[in-house]
Structure 1
Amino acid sequence: AMARVGEKELKAMPVKNALEGMQGKTAGVDITSSQRPGEVGNINIRGQRSINAEQGPLYVVDGMVIQNGGIENINPSDIEAIDILKDASATAIYGSRGANGVILVTTKKGKQGKVTLNYSGTVTFETLHDVTEMMSASEWLDYARVAKYNAGSYASATPTYEADKAAFGSVAASWKNIDQAWSNGNYDPSKVGSYDWASHGKQTGITHEHTLSASGGSDKFQGYASFGYMDQKGTQPGQAYERYTLKTSFDSNPVEWFKMGTSINASYSTQDYGYSFSKSVTGSGDFYSALRSMLPWTMPYDENNEYIRNPNGDVNIINPIRELDYNTNQRRTFRASASMYSQIDFGKIWKPLEGLSYRIQFGPEFQFYTLGIANAADGINGDGNNGAQYKNEQKRAWTLDNLIYYNKTLGQHNLGLTLMQSASAYHYEMGDMRATNVASADELWYNMSSAGTLKTFGTGLTETQMASYMVRLNYGYKDKYLLTASMRWDGASQLAEGHKWASFPSAALAWRMDQEDFLKDVSWLNQLKLRLGVGVTGNAAI
């Protein structure tokens, strides 16, 4: 079961990454988006596959398996097509890692002809619309009075000025919004004042993206190169993302029987993550949600425009309106992946070997990631002390495939055989240090030794290897009766002794009804086939 998203669909509207371009265009594939710039959503192919295990699909870019993350670092303008393998038979080709589905990405390559220079650019505007129905200030007070009365902390079953004053009057600036609703002992809920906290957590997000590319070549050599830049300002203050991408592709066919090529994708990004509540007990995860959760009758500042830390007097409800001034959360990522191949067609060297070819392909990957967090003492995360965190991660991986292809036609019989041997390795290392009571949050995470001692320090290392073998047979008779049989074996170093290997068999039969002689001249059948094809495509788009 396959679905395809081509270049036309990806460019139907401006998108920031390939996953956004796939949304709504592939049946059976659920893709969620993230409102935070630089973050991508989740993708599930045909629903949940497990309760606790990884749900994400396997990504294959230009024939090479990606072991470090997904495809969010690839400029959508550099993608030729995306194919999605949705059924379980994908494991027969890609092994255990294909259990959640496989996403095949084909990037652009050079084409024979004159060198062409192309530019594409977009500017998009985004706004945050909240359709959640929230309590008004007077509605919240009605609810709180009942709750407090039932708990024994509100003196009367009906509102009284004295009971309101005792329950809500500890902060003068906030109490004014309730006090103005009382007159001569009478309470008018329509006069309760409120403050629009959420308005400080929204802004117009502006994104501009630019891609400059060149393509061309001769019958012996084709090349493609592009440079992309994207700058995104989020719909919440403090959130931003900047990305640079570089794509190169070269293919050469110096002699008739030999060809080689390489494709490289690289990116560097900086993300301002924005407000994030770091305490483990409770708290909103983003600035807008933190503001929206504040009590509507409270005020962030007093009459002298002084900051009020606890707007209703409760020490557990802290005013977040200045948090962007107190916290810095920045992530930097450099990623590079490549696909390099060489292929020999033995049939063009020696006629008796016609149909036999050998291909070797190698895919290295690199990722360097740094996280820096600084929390000032006055902020919620600081909690009275200047704090800092610095985390560094390195990921390296490679995959080496050896493939033998044999394709032969004997009369009305077509035979195709593929043999593969593959080896891959993955390396991950990290260092993470955190400190409290550093000299100043203005120095960010660059002077953590000023704390005297580090709060925590951790390092980690993960190394795994995998070996794989695969055989695949395709047989066709009269281009009408088709058989496909596959078997793959995977061995993983992280599994226990005696249980390191697993096999994945698959077989499929097909009958092409339109190739039957007695049906070829039935015009209504051809029309029916066309109608069904259109119907399936339409459903996939929905």
Structure 2
Amino acid sequence: MEARPLLKPLRLVFLLQFLCMIHLSLAQSAVEVRLTGVITSEMDGSPLPGANVIVQSTSKGTTTDANGQFQLTVPANATLVISYIGYQSRTIAVGNQTQIKVALTPDVSSLDEVVVVGYGTVKKSDLSGSVATVAAEEIKSLPIASLEQGIQGRVAGVQVMQGNSAPGGAPQVRIRGANTVLGGSEPLYVIDGVPVYNAGLINEDGLNIGTQPSNALASINPNDIESMEILKDASATAIYGARGANGVVIITTKRGKAGERGQLSFESYYGMQQVSNKLDLMNAQDFIRIMNERARNLGQAEPYANPAQYTTSTDWQDLLFRTAPIQNYSLSYSGGSKQNQYNVSGNWFDQQGIVINSGFKRGSVRINLDNKINDQLKFVTSLTASRSINNRASNNWLSNAFSAFPTVNPYNSNGGYNDFSDSEAAADPTNPLEVVEKSLNKLTVDRILGSVMGEYTLLEGLTFSIRMGLDNQNQLNDIFVRRGNFTYPFPGATVKQDYNTNVLNENILSFNRELNGKHKINAITGFTWQQNTSRYFQQGGTGFQFEAFETNNLGAASITEPNVSSKGQSTILSWLGRVNYVFDDKYIVTFTSRADGSSRFGENNKWAFFPSGALAWRVSRENFMRNIPFISDLKVRTSYGVTGNQEIGLYNSISRMSSVVNVMGASQNAAIGYVPTSLANKDLKWEINKQFDAGIDLSVWQGRVSLTADYYIKRTDDLLANLPIPGSSGFSTILINSGSIENKGFELGATAHLIDKAFTWSINANISRNNTKVLDLAVETAEFFAASIPSPIDRPVNIIREGEVLSAFYGFVEDGLNETGDIRYKDLNGDGVINDNDQTILGSPYPDIIYGFTSNMAFKNFYLSIFFQGVEGVSVFNSNEFLTGNSLARIGNQLTAVNDRWTTDNFNPNAKYPRASNIANRVSDRYIQDASYLRLKNIVLGYNLPAGKLGISWLQAARIYVSGQNLLTFTKYNGYDPEVSQTGTNSLVKGLDRGSYPSAKVYNIGLNVTF
């Protein structure tokens, strides 16, 4: 009873003590220090402007000014993380200091940088193969829809050609030249550990005339990419065996970092696109003049008896081209503890095409998780889900546009589309504007790409990992043509569906240890399994009475097209291994091997073995190099290895049957039967690629200048070839392995940090040369032609001949004009007759030299980046000029340059163009044009907002920039764009320009902020 009164004062004492403790704690935590400092270069003591000074584990920080100085209020006992591009980061404990001076060590050589290689990583200093890296910063401000575009011009030995520049289109990528005739030529892409082959779509005749191949890589958001490694020589690619012959591109997406506080980043840009070039075509009066002149030359009545009555002069290009917006928005959140890291992002990309009724949209979500369960076990998860919608311009729209008569109006008096069949344009009754606006060609792609890897540490340096991967793509292609004065008198619809599922399992044992300070061993071995299953369906019909349903009511077609369906499946099993041994940081030896078994090949050749070896010597680590102090690092390396190409299609090694329809008996009933369509070849096997490489890596003046050079020779044997066989067999050809192609060339890449003061300036440059030669072919004639180019050419323009470049241009050589104003051709064999025997090699569709140059400058918070890219010594067959520069052999509008022609009033034998007539010109050197070019590919002017100085505590970093793409192009080519090859991934019909979608000039403004 009496103890109770004592409890009240005790409670009060305890409460006062508790409040005092809280007060002291809060007071201590509230103590902040006003810190000033200067950041300099350890090399010469110069200040480093724009260096980042961040309070560790927070978003609070600032950047240094032009004198390398900063001011920042920080909590007591804070720890700073100081970083600057090209220098090693440092962590500094503030303690009770109020002033600090920090010198950063140059890290330009980046020898400790970790490079991603097949099934693992290796320090750059320990690398023995030819591997190039493209970092995220190099492509961050580029308005690109697909990641391959970010490689263009930035890596020696890698040619990226947009070809058909339509939104969502698939660029061609060639690493060290073309290696095949009938097989696939694209490199293998490995996205967060999942191999992906970007084959595109090829028509039955091997051409993509007026269409775009699908681009599987367009579903990946380029903003998600952390880095891209390009594996070029056999030492680097042999670990991928049967899929390494065309090179490998390893894509690593962004992941959270241990100890990083949750960081929210927003990146966006908005821009406008314009056609970069237009053809200079005749106006109405020039066109009337040449049409009447043609008629007189042919002894016909003039079609335009009263030219003055034609007041319309239509520029069809202006009607079809437009100024179009492009926009991109990305939001990401990343961070993590030592145990768990995360990076989550979302993206929306929308590119309207510069051609009406075309465009590409993509929405994507990505989740990357790294979870360390304990000291032995961790899980790595990568998952991307996306949907893209690609509205494609209709087939041959551009060739119809530039050949359409300028004398007619696109619209009639009622405001509808003009029906050319009732006008002077009867020779070409297609209204190109109506075709484009009434045609729908929409490709929708839903994709899930991801993998989960579990890694268990067995012993120190010894780990075992299991990866399960999935790449699931569903493609829906809706094609609908509305009622119009062209193609179909009634609406027509086609629906194509393609389901593709790729499943992967990898089991890898890895060992990575340094022993006794002298020996480093990095080794892997493992087993992998991958299976691809595809299903294809096609349905269609014409004669719909109502257009509103478009492709959603195929049953309402009055005429139904035959249904099409198919299924394909392929499997590849592999055993692999690699050992990278380094002794004393001087001598490096790498051995790689892979055994692949593929269902695609003949019964007698299911398995193949692909080995490689490489040696490297870091000469700069030798004692005798100490007397040459300006050399920071010098490494010489060489490699030799064998890789394969399994991209030969499915079921080509076995006999196949196809269904046919026959009408039987008096009842005329349709009967379905089956006939053999191919002969089996049990010996069908891989195309084998053997490659030698010799290279040197040099860094001088403490890494301020670095250089990489390579020389290589590649030979591909056992090429796929269709061998002609006697007709008595019931077949015309059989697919065999026979023939050889050789690629050899050099590559040179250099980086120089020219100025590192208040004003900084660095440059990157690369140049490479490749020669492709056909060594041997299966046919007795030692040559054969590629597929014919469709009307109006109707003949091949590429020849595959032993001793010549692959797919060389072939045709006649002009010899001025004759006395009647027609083209004269050279009699090359001297027999007095001009015929097919007078044709010769006219040029190469492959460039002699490809190059790129980047200049990066910064002053205070401003930066300027300029990127040039170009090719030299390449030709293009300008089919557009075959239509518009042939003096009306095919009736249609002509280039204004055709005004310089032979006429009866001007007997000029030196005129550029022949007389106006109906004589069809031959394929000649007139149309094989030099397509070399130098292009200002990208220019960026930006400003880094000094968030710390402005006292914005919640803002970690921000930058705003303006950029331009394809602003200047220097070329002699007179088509829309010298960077063109309309046949997609086809290896034989190359360098064709026939109404290809032109490139666009792009003007952007962008904003990147980090919270």
State the TM-score, normalized to the length of structure 1. Answer: 0.86
Of the three residues 536, 539, 543, the one matched with 1:433 is: 539
1:48 aligns with 2:183: no
State the alpha-carbon separation in 1 of the partners of residues 534 and 221 from structure 2: 25
Of the three residues 341, 354, 365, the one matched with 2:453 is: 341
Deviates more, 1:506-515 or 1:288-297: 288-297
1:332 aligns with 2:558: no
Q: What SS class does the counterpart of residue 355 from structure 2 fall into?
A: coil
- One-letter code aligned to 2:329: H
Q: CA deviation at 1:302?
A: 4.8
Alignment match, 1:539: 765
State the alpha-carbon separation in 2 of the partners of residues 417 and 430 from structure 1: 42
Q: CA deviation at 1:4?
A: 1.3
1:499 aligns with 2:602: no
State the alpha-carbon separation in 2 of the partners of residues 359 and 486 from structure 1: 19
Of the three residues 254, 260, 270, the one matched with 1:123 is: 270
Alignment match, 1:19: 148
CA contact 1:67–1:426 (8 Å) conserved in 2:
no
Change (3 A) 1:14 1:129: closer
Alignment match, 1:413: 519
1:99 aligns with 2:245: yes
CA contact 1:222–1:250 (8 Å) conserved in 2:
yes
Alignment match, 1:114: 261
State the alpha-carbon separation in 2 of the partners of residues 407 and 88 from structure 1: 22
1:397 aligns with 2:498: no
Q: What SS class does the counterpart of residue 198 from structure 1 fall into?
A: helix
Q: Deviations over 1:132-152 (max 9, x none)?
A: 333344444454445444544
- One-letter code aligned to 2:571: Q
CA contact 1:434–1:454 (8 Å) conserved in 2:
yes
1:355 aligns with 2:569: no
Deviates more, 1:361-370 or 1:292-301: 292-301
State the alpha-carbon separation in 2 of the partners of residues 362 and 67 from structure 1: 18
State the alpha-carbon separation in 2 of the partners of residues 371 and 64 from structure 1: 26
State the alpha-carbon separation in 2 of the partners of residues 201 and 148 from structure 1: 30
Percent of aligned pairs sharing the same letter: 28
CA contact 1:326–1:379 (8 Å) conserved in 2:
no
Q: CA deviation at 1:70?
A: 4.1
Q: What SS class does the counterpart of residue 556 from structure 2 fall into?
A: helix
Alignment match, 2:491: 386
State the alpha-carbon separation in 2 of the partners of residues 498 and 22 from structure 1: 39
Q: Where in structure 2 are the equivalents of 1:269-348 lying within 5 Å?
A: 269-274=388-393, 276-277=394-395, 284=396, 286=397, 288-302=398-412, 305=415, 307-310=417-420, 311-347=423-459
CA contact 1:337–1:366 (8 Å) conserved in 2:
yes
Q: Deviations over 1:245-302 (max 9, x none)?
A: 100011011211211110011111122223x13xxxxxx2x3x543222122333345
Change (3 A) 1:409 1:317: same
State the alpha-carbon separation in 1 of the partners of residues 159 and 439 from structure 2: 34
CA contact 2:429–2:486 (8 Å) conserved in 1:
no
State the alpha-carbon separation in 2 of the partners of residues 12 and 289 from structure 1: 33
CA contact 1:90–1:99 (8 Å) conserved in 2:
no
Change (3 A) 1:533 1:333: same
CA contact 2:588–2:615 (8 Å) conserved in 1:
yes
CA contact 2:312–2:409 (8 Å) conserved in 1:
no
Change (3 A) 1:147 1:453: closer
Change (3 A) 1:524 1:227: closer
Unaligned 5+ segments in structure 2 are: 1-129, 199-214, 633-699, 708-748, 752-763, 767-851, 854-1011
Q: Where in structure 2 are the equivalents of 1:113-262 lying within 5 Å?
A: 113-152=260-299, 154=300, 163-164=301-302, 167-168=303-304, 178-180=307-309, 194-262=313-381
CA contact 1:111–1:217 (8 Å) conserved in 2:
yes
Q: What SS class does the counterpart of residue 706 from structure 2 fall into?
A: helix
1:509 aligns with 2:615: yes
State the alpha-carbon separation in 2 of the partners of residues 395 and 306 from structure 1: 43
CA contact 2:448–2:473 (8 Å) conserved in 1:
yes
Alignment match, 1:5: 134
Q: CA deviation at 1:89?
A: 3.5
CA contact 2:494–2:540 (8 Å) conserved in 1:
yes
Q: CA deviation at 1:228?
A: 0.8
CA contact 1:264–1:336 (8 Å) conserved in 2:
yes
Q: What SS class does the counterpart of residue 210 from structure 1 fall into?
A: strand
CA contact 2:490–2:545 (8 Å) conserved in 1:
no
The structure with more radius of gyration:
2
Q: What SS class does the counterpart of residue 15 from structure 1 fall into?
A: coil
Alignment match, 1:469: 575
Alignment match, 2:190: 60
- One-letter code aligned to 1:259: K
Q: What SS class does the counterpart of residue 750 from structure 2 fall into?
A: helix
Q: How many residues align?
A: 498
Alignment match, 1:159: none
Alignment match, 1:266: 385
Q: What SS class does the counterpart of residue 132 from structure 1 fall into?
A: coil
CA contact 2:367–2:384 (8 Å) conserved in 1:
yes
State the TM-score, normalized to the length of structure 2. Answer: 0.47
CA contact 1:374–1:441 (8 Å) conserved in 2:
no
State the alpha-carbon separation in 1 of the partners of residues 279 and 479 from structure 2: 31
Q: CA deviation at 1:22?
A: 2.0
- One-letter code aligned to 2:264: L
| Greater per-residue helix proportion | 1
Alignment match, 1:490: 596
Q: CA deviation at 1:38?
A: 2.2
- One-letter code aligned to 2:447: R
Q: What SS class does the counterpart of residue 186 from structure 2 fall into?
A: coil
Alignment match, 2:40: none
- One-letter code aligned to 1:130: N
Q: CA deviation at 1:371?
A: 1.0
CA contact 2:327–2:351 (8 Å) conserved in 1:
yes
State the alpha-carbon separation in 2 of the partners of residues 372 and 487 from structure 1: 45
CA contact 2:160–2:171 (8 Å) conserved in 1:
yes
Alignment match, 2:555: 449
